[in-house]
Structure formats: structure tokens, C-alpha cells
Structure 1
Amino acid sequence: MLDLNTFIQKNQCECLNESNDHPMVNALSSSGGHLVSDCDEQLIISITFNQLVKISAIKFKAPPSHGPKKGENLYQSTKHHRFRYGRIASFGAGSGTGAEGSCVGIADSVEFQNVQNMQLFVKDNHSGDETTIIDHLAFIGSPITTTKMDDFQRVAGKKGESH
């Protein structure tokens, strides 16, 4: 299992109710910055992968008081289903060191195979405050190897030429 960050198409991702000063792209890298909700604690996060992936866990790194309390609904777009509903099997506050904590949602491996797009609805945070903060958002899993014709390179000859 690995962090699927390299498979995320950041220019195709979006977050509804994100603060203009602290957008979601900050949370998709571990290099600093964070995502902050704008008008209330709820967030709708849409992630697009550049190929099909299998998601085993969703990990949030966040301040213990303002981190997501519950991932209410997950929707995925797969190769064969337009949108398919799934739930996180467990999701809660984990132990962290210092001022930062983390929580992990374990995805049902049957539900989250062959995922191209994922939508996550964060309903509330641990403090019940109007602001939800996510320092880092990671999807843990593995890529599904698929053949991409764009990856093939011509070895010899010209297009349309036979040997």
C-alpha cells in the first residue's frame, strides 16, 4: 500500500466551502499549508485520479479539535458505474503527538476498487466549531495497472508503415 498522491490530478480536484486563503491543494501535499472550511464546518471534497486505483484507507492529519469528525458519505465514479455509494468502515480520532492529531478511515476493499473519482462529504469536526481544518489528506491504496495507449512509443518506421 502506498500514498496515492502521485496519481491525483490536482487541476481536476475541487472542494466546496473551502477558504480562499487556505484551499484544498494545500492539504494534498505534505509540504505545508492546510485546508480550512469557509462558512461552516462542512466540506465536499472531489478527488480525480489519473488512472484507476484501489483505495484501502483515507487519512487526515488535522488539529484534534478542528479535524473531521466523520466522513458522512463517499461517492465514487468507477469504470463500470457512474456513481457508486460507499461508506467508511471506521473513522475516528487517533492519537497524535503535540498539537496535531490524525484520523484514518478504513475503506471497505470491496467497495473501493477501480476508483477514478472520489467525493467525500465531511459533515462536522470534533469541536463542533464552524471551522474544519485539514493539514494533510492522503488516500492509501494501490494503482490498478491499466494499458494506456499514450504510453507506447514508436520503435521504428513511420506511422502507417508496415514491416
Structure 2
Amino acid sequence: MIAPTFDELSNKYPNLKFIKVDVDKCKETKNKYMVNAMPTFLVLINGQRVDILTGADAGALSNLVHKWSVNCPTQVSSPIPGQHDILHFIDKGQCECLNEKDTHPLRHLLDGNGPLVSDCDEQLLINLPFVQPVKIHSILFRGPAGGKGPKNVKIFANIPVTLGFDAAQSSEPVQTVDFSQEHLIALKYVKFQNIHNIQLFVEDNIGGGEQTVIEEFRIFGTPLKKKTTMPPVNVDNLMRELSIDQLIQVQIKLRNETENKREDLRQMVGRRYRDVLDASNAVKRLTEIASELSILLNDTKRSFSAQQNSDSTCEYTKRTVVNAGRCLLLLHTLLPLIV
């Protein structure tokens, strides 16, 4: 299967955009790019096809992607070797920023349409969820000249809800970063290995003023490898691709598997039913033995009372011995049922 390789390459080369197209639904696209075999991989630059690969060859696909990743004119450079700008892994629809100015919100900063500016005071609380787990290596904050850029920033990780300012002020972060000397700061990498979201609490700015301005913000790291899942089975395609004999074999196999499952269920129910019957019989026998034991004990008690008023010591002794023996036999039978 080529799908896992395609997904892995999409994570490895974040500077390229990977798109899957269902040619049965997008017939115009299929005809436009003359796709006649499956799978077909196209390389497009500004909407124009510049390369093509057909067939499920993982090695050839990897070479194709690597070639165009190196030659791509829009490739985004990273100041940190081996790390990528992972801002495009942020779920922008779920982002939140407290105390942002309405005219300069967080969304403008993430989209490259302007700075993020604080409103009532210098503090900002930014919640950034990711569409998939990532490793975070470094963070870059850059403000304008004049001291309005962020200074002390608390970083929290994997908190499912947005913190309030009071909670952020009093809580212990994963790391606190000082941006007064440098714009790009490396984080404690071992503490940011499986990150689903981060929250950035900007406590103050470099100049100590009432307004904080962020003109550039970037996160460098790598995405974690996605878990591969089995693709859904298209029954119509399956029926078209298999011969009559193959379909008959599939039907026989499904019938046998169903019958085996049914027989396993039948045996399991039978075992449970027998266990219930055995337990019921044991309780019934236990009740009978307890009743017999009670009768024998009462008989022994009466015999003892009669002996006190009679001279027939021999008869009393004989009956007492017999009853005692019966009691012992009943107890011998009773003990295994109790244990």
C-alpha cells in the first residue's frame, strides 16, 4: 500500500502541499491532467503540471518528492537545521487569544496579515491547538522597535481548556522564556515531545509599557508520525475487480467464519447454562443436608432429655452414637459445598 508512504512524506516535507483527489468524483481534474492509471502522482507549480509518476512504488515516490522539495521555489527556509516551521499544523479555527485588540487579532498574525496587539494592558494569553501531535524545538517572537515586543512568556503544554489570567499567573509552566535579548529561543526539547496544544502567557513587554505588539511569531519543530489506519473498503470496486470464482471463495469464507462465530457463541452460552444448573443443584442439596442435620440434632437433643428421665442408658447411648455418626456424614458432605 502506498497510502502510508504518502502520509509520511506529507509530514516529512511540510514546505510542500499534499492533496488526495478522488478521480471518480473529480472527473474534470482527471481529464485536465490526463490521469489514466491509478495511482498517479502529479507535481504542480502554480497550477501547471511539471512532473508525473504512475504506480505504487514507494521508493520512486520518495525520490520524486525529495527532488521537488529541493528545487521548489517557494520552499521556506528554517534557521534551525533539521527543524521546520510548524505553524501550518496549528488548528486556526480553534485558536484563542485573550486581551487581543479587535482590529489586530491573533488570526491576522497567523495569516501574515498584520501584528497581534494587546488591548486593555500589556498581557496576552494565547491558546494554540495542533491538528496532530508535534515536537517543539524553538519559538520566535519579534516585536517592533521601541520596546513593545514580548519579554517574559510562560509556556504551558497539553492543557485542554484555555487558562484564565489568574490561573496562568499562579500556575507553574513547563518553561518560562525571556525574549528581551533574543527573538529566537530554544525550548527544553525533552519536555515538548508529544504536544497537542500550547498556551503562551505573555506577562509583560520589553519596554514595560501598557501595550504589547507581536509582528512575527514562528514555531520550529517536527510533526509526529501519524498513525496509519486501514482505508475504507469500496465494495463496488471490490465486486468489479474480483472474478466470479474469487467472489464465491469470499462468500464461502465469510459463511464459514460466521458459522464458527455462531458455534463459539452457542458453546459459551451452553457452558454458562450448565454452570448455573450446577450452582442451583448445589444450593438445593445444601438446603436438604442442612434440614437433615437440623432434624438429627433435634432428635439427639430429645434423646438426651429422655435419658435423664429413664434408666435405659444403653438405648440412649446407641441412639446418640447413631445420630452423631449421621451428623458427621452430613458435615462431611456439606463442607465441600460450602468451600
TM-score by length of 1: 0.79
Listed one character per residue, the Cα deviations across residues 13-36 of structure 1 (whole Å, up to 9, x for unaligned) are: 11101001100111113x331100
Q: Secondary structure at 2:204's aligned position in 1? A: strand
- Greater displacement, 119-128 / 84-93: 84-93
- Correspondence for 2:84: 2
Q: How far apart, in 1, do the equivalents of 2:181 and 2:214 lie?
A: 13
Q: Secondary structure at 2:134's aligned position in 1? A: strand
The structure with the largest alpha-carbon Rg is 2
- Correspondence for 2:107: 25
Aligned residues of 1:90 and 1:106 also touching (Cα < 8 A) = no
Listed one character per residue, the Cα deviations across residues 123-162 of structure 1 (whole Å, up to 9, x for unaligned) are: 111111100000121111000112154xx5446535xx99
Corresponding position: 1:124 with 2:212: no
Q: How far apart, in 1, do the equivalents of 2:181 and 2:228 lie?
A: 39
Q: How far apart, in 1, do the equivalents of 2:137 and 2:116 lie?
A: 23
Aligned residues of 1:54 and 1:113 also touching (Cα < 8 A) = yes
Structure with the higher helix share, 1 or 2:
2
Aligned residues of 1:91 and 1:106 also touching (Cα < 8 A) = no
Listed one character per residue, the Cα deviations across residues 41-78 of structure 1 (whole Å, up to 9, x for unaligned) are: 0001100000000001111121131000111x211118
Q: Which runs of 5+ in 2 are unaligned?
A: 1-82, 160-171, 240-246, 251-339
The 5 A counterparts of 1:84-163 are 85-88=173-176, 91-94=179-182, 103-147=183-227, 149=229, 153-154=231-232, 156-157=234-235
C-alpha spacing 1:104/1:132, structure 2 compared with 1 (3 Å): same
Q: Secondary structure at 2:87's aligned position in 1? A: helix
C-alpha spacing 1:16/1:111, structure 2 compared with 1 (3 Å): same
- Correspondence for 2:135: 54
Q: Which runs of 5+ in 1 are unaligned?
A: 79-83, 95-102
The runs of at least 4 consecutive aligned structure 1 residues that moved more than 4 Å come to none
Q: How far apart, in 2, do the equivalents of 1:126 and 1:57 lie?
A: 20
Q: Percent identity?
A: 38
Q: How far apart, in 1, do the equivalents of 2:178 and 2:149 lie?
A: 15
Please provide the CA RMSD for this pair. 2.6
TM-score by length of 2: 0.40
Residue number among 70, 75, 80 corresponding to 2:152 in the alignment: 70
Structure with the higher strand share, 1 or 2:
1
Aligned residues of 2:139 and 2:217 also touching (Cα < 8 A) = yes
